Structure 1
Amino acid sequence: MELTIFQVDAFTDRVFAGNPAAVIPLSEWLPDNVLQSLALENNLSETAFFVPTPTDPNHDFHLRWFTPAIEVDLCGHATLASAAVLYRELGWSGDEIRFKALAGDLVVRKKGALFELDFPARAPKADEPPEGFVEALGTPPREFYKAKKFMAVLENEAAVLAVDPDMDFIAGMQGDGLIVTAPGRSDGSESIDCVSRYFAPHAGIPEDPVTGSAHCTIIPYWAEKLGKMDINAKQISARGGDLYCTLAGDRVLIAGQAVLYMKGAVHVGDGWSEQG
C-alpha cells in the first residue's frame, strides 16, 4: 500500500522554523497500530491522519493525531498543517473545514495567508505545584496553574528561555505536560503579548517547538491578565513560532501560517524487501 505524505512547518512563514507535522490523507481508517507505527517512524511531534466523512452533515473530515508514543485528543499545529494541505494541495475550496476529533468539533478557516483554528478554551485554575517541582524546573514560578496541561508563570522571557527542566519529573506529573510562560515584549520590530515553551516527555516529545493546544490554556490566562481579547503569542523554542490569537467566549481562535517542506510516498508493507 502506498500513501501520500506531506510534511508541513506550521506557525511559521519559512521552512526550518515553526513546528513540523506529517499529514497523511486516508480514504478509510487503517488499524490503530499501523497509525501509531507510522507516527513512530516519522518521529515528529505529531502525525495527522484524516478521512472524508461524506455522509456526515456536520463534519467534512474525521481527524486524528499521533505522537511517536500515543494518540492525543487535540493538536494545533498538525490541524493547521492538515488544513494547509487540504487547501493548497488537495483542492479544498470551502470557506471553512469542519473536523470531527476526540476533543470535539474543530473548524479551520483560511484568512489570507493565515489559517485560523477554532479550538475549545481550556482556562487554567490556580493550584500549588507538586512537591519537588521547583527543583525540577530550576526556578520558582511566580504562579502555578492546572488545566489539562500544567502551567508555570515566570517573571520574563529570559527566565522562560533559561528553563532546562528535569524531563523524568515532568513525565511523571499527572497531566498533559508542562507549559512555561511569561509576559512578552515590544521592541520596535514586533509586539508580543506573551511567550511560552511546552514540554511533553510523557508523549515522547521532550520539547514541542510550537503548540496550538497549549494556547487553549495560555490565551485565557493572558487575556484576563492583560485585559484584552486579541493576543499575539510567540513560542520561543529553538525553532520558534508565531500565533495570532483571540479569546472568543469558550473558544480560542489561533491563527498562523504554514509552509510545505516535503511531499512524498509512504510504503506500508514489504517495500523493497525480497523473498528467496
Structure 2
Amino acid sequence: MAKKPVKYYVVDAFTDSAFKGNPAAVCLLEEDKNDYWFQSVAAEFNISETCYLTSIHGTSIPRFGLRWFTPVSEVNLCGHATLAAAQTLFSTGLVDNNVIEFVTLSGILTAKKIPASNVTSAQNDEAKDTFYIELDFPADPIAESNSDDTSLISEALNGASIIDIKRTKNGDDLLVVVSSGKNVTEVEPQLDVIGKIAGRGVIVTGIAPSESGFDFYSRYFCPKFGINEDPVCGSAHCSLATYWSKKLGKCDLNAYQASARGGAINIHLDEQKQRVFLRGKAITVMEGCILV
C-alpha cells in the first residue's frame, strides 16, 4: 500500500519577518511513524528543530501530541518549534479555539492566541489584525556552576569579557554572563571547544543597550545536538527569565536573541508558580509534503 504523504509547514518563529527568527518544520501526522523515520526526516530538513503533531481526540480543549527532533537527537523541550506548531494550527484553521494543549516529554504545555494590542513589546505592531502566541513553560532554575573549566569557557568564547558563570538545572546548560549586550553580539564561538565543555550547550547573555528597548541580549550554542548556533531558543529563555528577573527586579522582560537571524521574545515570569510565559510571533514561509 502506498504511503500517505505527510503535510509539513516551515515556520519562522519569534519574528514577523520571513527568513528571520528561528525556522522549524512542523509535520502533521495522520498515522504512526517510528523514531527512525522521525530522526531521518529531521536530518533531511537539517534545521534546528523538526516537530511532529498528532491529534488527540475527545478533549474539550484541542490537544495534540508533540515531539521535537534536532538533526541528530530528540529533545525534551523546544520553545520555537512549539510556537511554530501553534502558529500552524491557528493560521490554517485546523483548530477553532484560542488555546491549544500539547502533550510532550515535558508534560502538558499550552499555547494561547492573544491580540498584539495586549502585548507590550520592544517592536511596534503595524497590522492591527496580527496576533502573538503565548507559551506556558516551566521555569528553569539557575544554580551555581561547579565547573572547573573557566579557562576552557573563556577559550570557547574567544576571550569574551566574562563576569559570571551559572548552570541551568533543567536544561544543563552553562549560562555565561558577559559585560554587555554589545559583547554578546561580538562573541566568536569556538565550536570545537564548546563541544568539550560538560553539559548540553552554552548560553551567552548580557544587559541590552539602553536605546534598544530590550532588557537583555543572548545567544545559544549547542553543537552536541547538531545546532552550532540556535537562532532564537525559547527553552533557553526559561532560565534567562529566572536570571534576569532577579537581576533586574522585575517579572516582565523584553529579550532579543542576537544571532545573525535575530528574534524577539516578550517574557512574563510567574515566580510563585515557577512558570515562564513566552510571547512571540511567527510566520509560515513554505509548505509541502513528505512523500516517503
TM-score range, shorter chain: over 0.9
Instruction: State the Cα distance separating 1:128 from its structure 2 match.
Output: 4.4
- Aligned residue among 54, 59, 64 for 2:67: 64
The DSSP-based 3-state class of the residue aligned with 1:33 is helix
CA contact (8 A) 2:62 2:95 kept: no
Do structure 1's residue 164 and structure 2's residue 185 form an aligned pair? no
Write the deviation string for residues 122-168 of structure 1: whole angstroms up to 9, x where unpaired. 02112244422212222252010111221100010121111112212
CA contact (8 A) 1:128 1:144 kept: no
User: Equivalents in 2 of 1:152, 1:53: separation in Å?
Assistant: 40
CA contact (8 A) 2:62 2:97 kept: no
RMSD: 1.5
The DSSP-based 3-state class of the residue aligned with 2:16 is coil
User: Equivalents in 2 of 1:168, 1:210: separation in Å?
Assistant: 21
TM (norm. structure 2) is: 0.88
- Aligned residue among 26, 31, 34 for 2:29: 26
| Alignment-derived partner of residue 236 in structure 2 | 214
Instruction: State the Cα distance separating 1:176 from its structure 2 match.
Output: 2.1
CA contact (8 A) 1:59 1:100 kept: no
User: Equivalents in 1 of 2:61, 2:191: separation in Å?
Assistant: 40
| Alignment-derived partner of residue 98 in structure 1 | 101
Do structure 1's residue 243 and structure 2's residue 246 form an aligned pair? no
Write the deviation string for residues 183-203 of structure 1: whole angstroms up to 9, x where unpaired. 01232xx51001000001001
Q: Which moved more, 1:12-21 or 1:126-135?
A: 126-135
The DSSP-based 3-state class of the residue aligned with 2:154 is helix
Instruction: State the Cα distance separating 1:89 from its structure 2 match.
Output: 1.1
Q: Which moved more, 1:239-248 or 1:55-64?
A: 55-64
User: Equivalents in 2 of 1:50, 1:171: separation in Å?
Assistant: 31
User: For residue 8 of structure 2, what is the amino acid of its counterpart?
Assistant: I
User: For residue 42 of structure 2, what is the amino acid of its counterpart?
Assistant: A
User: Equivalents in 2 of 1:29, 1:252: separation in Å?
Assistant: 32
Alignment of 1:109-124 (within 5 A): 109-112=112-115, 113-124=131-142
User: Equivalents in 2 of 1:235, 1:150: separation in Å?
Assistant: 16
User: Equivalents in 2 of 1:194, 1:182: separation in Å?
Assistant: 6
Q: Which moved more, 1:48-57 or 1:67-76?
A: 48-57
Do structure 1's residue 136 and structure 2's residue 156 form an aligned pair? yes
| Alignment-derived partner of residue 52 in structure 2 | 49
User: For residue 143 of structure 2, what is the amino acid of its counterpart?
Assistant: K
CA contact (8 A) 2:61 2:99 kept: no
Do structure 1's residue 146 and structure 2's residue 167 form an aligned pair? yes
TM (norm. structure 1) is: 0.92
CA contact (8 A) 2:155 2:193 kept: no
CA contact (8 A) 2:153 2:197 kept: no
Q: Tell me, which stretches of 5 or more residues in structure 2 are unaligned?
A: 116-130
Write the deviation string for residues 10-53 of structure 1: whole angstroms up to 9, x where unpaired. 00011010001100011233000000000000011000101111
Residues 58/16 of structure 1: CA separation in 2 closer, same or farther (3 Å cut):
closer
CA contact (8 A) 1:199 1:206 kept: yes
User: For residue 86 of structure 1, what is the amino acid of its counterpart?
Assistant: L
User: Equivalents in 1 of 2:283, 2:114: separation in Å?
Assistant: 15
User: For residue 123 of structure 1, what is the amino acid of its counterpart?
Assistant: P
| Alignment-derived partner of residue 10 in structure 2 | 7
